[in-house]
Amino acid sequence: MQLSLIKHQGCATPFLRHLLDFRVCQTRQRSQGCKIACTVIRHRWMKRAPVFCTHNTTNKMISTQADKENIDMSKFPVERIRNFSIIAHIDHGKSTLADRLLELTGAIATTDKNKQVLDKLQVERERGITVKAQTASLFYKYQGQTYLLNLIDTPGHVDFSYEVSRSISACQGVLLIVDANQIDLKNADPERVEKQIEKVFDIPTEECIRISAKLGTNVEQVLQEVVKRLPPPTFKKEDPFKALVFDSNFDHYRGVVANIALFGGYLSKGDRIISAYLGKSYEVNELGLLRPDEHPTDRLYAGQVGYVIAGMKEVKEAQIGDTLYHQKHLVEAFPGFKPAKAMVFAGMYPMDQSDYSALRSAVEKLTLNDSSVTVQRDSSLALGAGWRLGFLGLLHMEVFNQRLEQEYNASVIVTAPTVPYKAILSSAKLIKEHGKEEITIVNPAQFPDRSVVKEYLEPMVMGTIITPDDYIGKIMSICLNRRAVQKNMVYIDDHRVMMKYLFPLNEIVVDFYDLLKSMSSGYASFDYEDAGYQAAHVIKMDILLNGKPVEELTTIVHKDRAYSAGKAMCERLQDAIPRQMFEIAVQAAIGSKVIARETIKAYKKNVLAKCYGGDITRKMKLLKKQAEGKKKMRYVGTVQVPKDAFINVLKRKDK
């Protein structure tokens, strides 16, 4: 399976183009049975080096025993430092390549058990994907000199693009990985992939390295080319100390552990440093490298990447993008990272309101580690106090929820995901109340009535689909069903097509990716980027259970699809909600008008089981009494909606 990659002047893949603007410098060595095309690329402002030849050099790695000793970081001048990330689409073998690089440099012992070594989270192990960028410092001996290679393994899914953009800020180049066959199948065709790269991105096929991360073929060649092709940092240890906080996490005993990249000077244990964001002063308690586990050192120097623990006990003290500098030398702060733009919003509430404080602490600590999540206080009549959280996608939301449960033992209710709509108000009173004419709605329950609105706007995205031409008809059909408008379609080779569609974000956010994979037997890829807002005829649809609106199931739908959407949601709720001792009426309503209804039948006890003949009036009396009890229960009973129903009710099957 071949997926999209970077173009040197303008990439056709939104995900990678959004993160990077690089010029590509590639090299190639041919060998039999190789599965993966690997590209070494450098920043756009770097001068492109000429095509080079392969050198057969015997390299010796520093042993793991040396790692246990104190490492003198002053022995690594800036000229012998390389900071790089691994960039690729999902399931292209980034973590597998990282495992081989760790083994080759002696950072970990070579064993068959080395699988996803840098994927440390339980959710990463269970799902088999990378969701959190991880750093590892490698020592590599090349041509008689030892180099310090700082590797950052990044996620491949578009929902975690913010992790990638932050990681790149600490690097001078990246390895771009393109899987030429997807999981080492027999039909590997590297030649065809190279031709695609040349046709789409104008990169000569002679400039690729073919490797197999699974088998370890030519992986050492990658390290050699990293040393030869990627530029060293341009910082000086003589300059005042200045460091960028590009990641952080919270340790229960030690407080905040910040990952930093030094852009000048050096940092020693015991130094007093200041946070440019808060202006607070801290004493450095511990600092060191990640190999990939923490390895304390006495100092870190300009151009190096490591971690620092400075007694930050509060989550709010560690801000991603913050600048750290020495107390005696004031420096100009970094501009910081551009905040992530949330694409999906959902309400999050504790199962029990008594757990609110504990859940708040857990959310604060987890958002320190995942700063792309936006948090806003919210409340619900049914669920109590909680938060309205913004995510980069549905997978991002599911992973965040799973991490809360696994890492903090938090039990939460997550409402149906929604996208941010906009409304242009016509009511002078509301304009005065909000202070502006255009407002953004992230909670469907707060959707303003049509009578006070000039126009509704819905978010749009430009989606890029790359697929074998055998599936064009099916994919065009599902795109049409999702109100997509085709913008472009080109053949990138004899058998693969790249299609661009303008989608309403609401149509793709829940289940479009899964459906696309199903329709194309897993061969199609899908990326999207923000395309602004567009006027739309949308309305608010309420879901009623026994006549009572369930705020958490309120959704925004297109006017032309209101009936079909309401009927489908009622049917799915009928399947999702377990039967009760009383009858449950599931209704979809627009305003006061009910447009769809399903009924969940009640469990019924046989009250006549003990009656053996006798007067019929006795049986009728028992049945009447039972019916009255059921009716009473229906009015006073509480309908329990399962947690997974909030997401499952939004999924639909396109025919």
Residues belonging to the binding site for GTP are 88-95, 153-157
Angle at 492 between CA 491 and CA 495, to 5 degrees: 70
Helix (H) or strand (E) holding 378: strand 374-380
* The three-state (H, E, C) secondary structure of 427-483, written as one string: CHHHHHHHCCCEEEECCHHHCCCHHHEEEEEEEEEEEEEEEEHHHHHHHHHHHHHCC
Q: Distance of CA 623 to CAs 407, 633, 637, 649, Å?
A: 51, 15, 20, 35
| 461 touches 532 (CB < 8 A) | no
| 37 touches 195 (CB < 8 A) | no
Spacing of C-alpha 318 from chain mean position? 21
φ, ψ for residue 453, nearest 5 deg = -125, 135
Pairing status of strand 173-179 against strand 81-88: parallel
What radius of gyration do the chain's Cα atoms show?
Answer: 29
Separation CA 506–CA 45 (nearest Å): 38
> Token pair of 401, please?
């929820």
Instruction: Give exposure, 534-550, as e/b (b: 16+ Cβ within 10 Å).
Output: eebebebbbbbbbeebb
Q: Distance of CA 274 to CAs 288, 384, 636, Å?
A: 18, 40, 59
E strands, 538-607, are: 538-545, 548-549, 555-558, 584-590, 593-600
| 447 touches 441 (CB < 8 A) | yes
| 119 touches 37 (CB < 8 A) | no
| 2 touches 175 (CB < 8 A) | no
* The three-state (H, E, C) secondary structure of 396-420, written as one string: HHHHHHHHHHHHHCCCEEECCCECC
Annotated binding site: 88-95, 153-157
| 76 touches 164 (CB < 8 A) | no
Residue 111, classed as helix, strand or coil, is: coil
- Residue 316, classified by CB atoms within 10 Å of its CB into exposed (0-12), middle (13-18) or buried (19+), is exposed
How is residue 219 annotated by DSSP?
Answer: H
- Residue 636, classified by CB atoms within 10 Å of its CB into exposed (0-12), middle (13-18) or buried (19+), is exposed
Residue type, 461: V
> Token pair of 16, please?
């990678």
> Token pair of 405, please?
């449960």
| 603 touches 580 (CB < 8 A) | yes
